[in-house]
A and B are shown apart, each in its own frame.
Chain A
């Protein structure tokens, strides 16, 4: 039997606020356990939550950027369940009136565009963290309790693991562009639950789904979904039945396994939280947030095509993150040669950044330094080969491209006298090849260019070398 997988994703986006969603405790990651806590996030009796306005603004931004409608009246609800990382015995979340509804994102699948529906986005608080192996028990750290989250729920519109990853990357790109999430997946700032089912090809009834919890890298999402699809297909082919359950992905073994003991969990008895008054979002407020939205990846991509005449591939790579796009724009505007800036950034710069594990915003070579280097090439002062050496020098020791060229005597030689002398010497030493060339073997020309450049230590102007060689070899 052939199966059709059906995938929907729930993504938890940790918002980049300074303070928690309902209290003034810091959201800083990595503090000593329970340091950033107060009566509100510890759930001490009588403590009352007060909503952080920035959380609402960030949620509106996310909704506008994902084509959602913004709900005018928002209610917070209590989601009741017991778990040691949840001090109140309920999580403050949104239920029937989430802040954003009915949006979508377009992803690229091969050379097609596919629209993935977004069912809803709601605001909620994160739980604390459990640490195991605490002298026969588990440790509870409530620093994270009350950290603001957006939960972004997609429609079950994805059919392959690759589509799921493409959707996730798109969403990631948007929330990091918006600056509402720091995007640190290792610290859990962007994590994903995947709902997966399979049905016979041609069927229109979805199969029973399993939910895979908390997968926190694009690579693991792909592996977890692929494993789960094949597990379900094999199970059904062997006459078994998929049960609705929560599963965990084990990245070491590459498998998902059942999380037992949460069988009665889906009865959360949601009800409006009486401690939090409704949040009413006016059209003016939405307009104001819309006006302040940064340029989004798609718009930037299109602008790069028109403003800088870049090929689609370049525009796509350069808009993959906001810092990279900013770097490119500063460099291109400073050197007035967008294509060359794009090539250098996607080539030498990206390679050096990757090799050293450095983010582009921390690049030791600034956009202006790189632009100055490109200007030297465009002005004919140095060749592309020499420029790579200068770039290495800039990377290691900083400074200015022009000064490095000057100090190290790297300027290109266009002086015909010096080049002619070199050519004469090389022709004299290689009379055999000269005869071959004159006998019609054009390929030997490359040999001479190489020899001349070598003799000139790469500093000869290639165009001048070509012209002079042709003249002299012609005899």
Chain B
């Protein structure tokens, strides 16, 4: 599988990263190498093996529907870079 610079730009945009041209080139090469390495998995025969979603053989970890104490807005906002009353404040969002 080969990856081009256009895909790097797309992924960077989705991740909200701004890359310089030389970085784009660098990462295109690196990503290509990583994908090529992962590609070796395709050499294995996986017929009849269902896709693995989790590495730990465990299922059905539940909690009952019980309310437990929250930490409250003061502690929730303690590390907020910006706040107004008990809201986190972010740059204006236009819908």
A36 to B53, CA, bound (A): 32
Most buried by A among B53, B84, B85: B53
Q: How far is the CB of A74 from chain B (nearest CB, A)?
A: 9
> Is B91 close to A, CB under 8 A?
yes
Knowing A42-B76, A84-B93 touch, does A24 contact B86 (C-beta < 8 A)? no
Residue of B nearest to A131 (CB): B87
Interface flags, B79-94, vs A, CB<8A=1, else 0: 0001011111111111
Q: How far is the CB of B90 from chain A (nearest CB, A)?
A: 4
Knowing A24-B67, A26-B70, A50-B62 touch, does A139 contact B89 (C-beta < 8 A)? yes
Give the contacts of B49-95 with A (CB-CB under 8 A).
53-56, 58-73, 76-77, 82, 84-95
**A75 and B53 contact, CB distance less than 8 A:** yes
Interface residue SS majority, chain B:
loop
> Is B16 close to A, CB under 8 A?
yes
Identify A33's interface contact among B58, B73, B93, CB under 8 A: B73
Residue of B nearest to A128 (CB): B88
**A272 and B70 contact, CB distance less than 8 A:** no
> Is A267 close to B, CB under 8 A?
yes
Residue of B nearest to A28 (CB): B67
**B61 and A50 contact, CB distance less than 8 A:** yes
Q: How far is the CB of B18 from chain A (nearest CB, A)?
A: 14
Q: How far is the CB of A292 from chain B (nearest CB, A)?
A: 15
**B53 and A269 contact, CB distance less than 8 A:** no
Q: Contacts of B13 on A, CB cut-off 8 Å?
A: 264
Q: Contacts of A139 on B, CB cut-off 8 Å?
A: 84-85, 87-90
> Is A374 close to B, CB under 8 A?
no
Bin the interface of chain B by size: 35 or more
> Is A418 close to B, CB under 8 A?
no
Residue of B nearest to A248 (CB): B95
Q: Contacts of B66 on A, CB cut-off 8 Å?
A: 18-19, 24
Identify A138's interface contact among B70, B77, B93, CB under 8 A: B93
Q: Contacts of A37 on B, CB cut-off 8 Å?
A: 70-73, 76
> Is B38 close to A, CB under 8 A?
no
Residue of B nearest to A269 (CB): B14
**B72 and A35 contact, CB distance less than 8 A:** yes
Residue of B nearest to A278 (CB): B59
Give the contacts of B1-21 with A (CB-CB under 8 A).
10, 13-14, 16
> Is A376 close to B, CB under 8 A?
no
Q: Contacts of B71 on A, CB cut-off 8 Å?
A: 37-39, 42
> Is A140 close to B, CB under 8 A?
yes
Q: How far is the CB of A255 from chain B (nearest CB, A)?
A: 15
> Is A32 close to B, CB under 8 A?
yes
> Is A379 close to B, CB under 8 A?
no
Residue of A nearest to B75 (CB): A37
> Is A134 close to B, CB under 8 A?
yes
> Is A317 close to B, CB under 8 A?
no
- The interface-forming segment of A51-59, A353-361, A431-439 is A51-59
**A34 and B88 contact, CB distance less than 8 A:** yes
A387 to B15, CA, bound (A): 71
Knowing A52-B62, A277-B59 touch, does A137 contact B14 (C-beta < 8 A)? no
**B63 and A24 contact, CB distance less than 8 A:** yes
A137 to B53, CA, bound (A): 40
Residue of B nearest to A213 (CB): B95
Q: How far is the CB of A282 from chain B (nearest CB, A)?
A: 10
- Chain B residues with a Cβ under 8 A of chain A: 10, 13-14, 16, 53-56, 58-73, 76-77, 82, 84-95
Q: A34-B87, A37-B72 are in contact. List 13 more A-B contacts (CB 8 A).
A: A18-B65, A24-B63, A50-B62, A52-B63, A52-B65, A54-B65, A80-B14, A82-B16, A134-B84, A139-B89, A272-B53, A274-B54, A280-B60
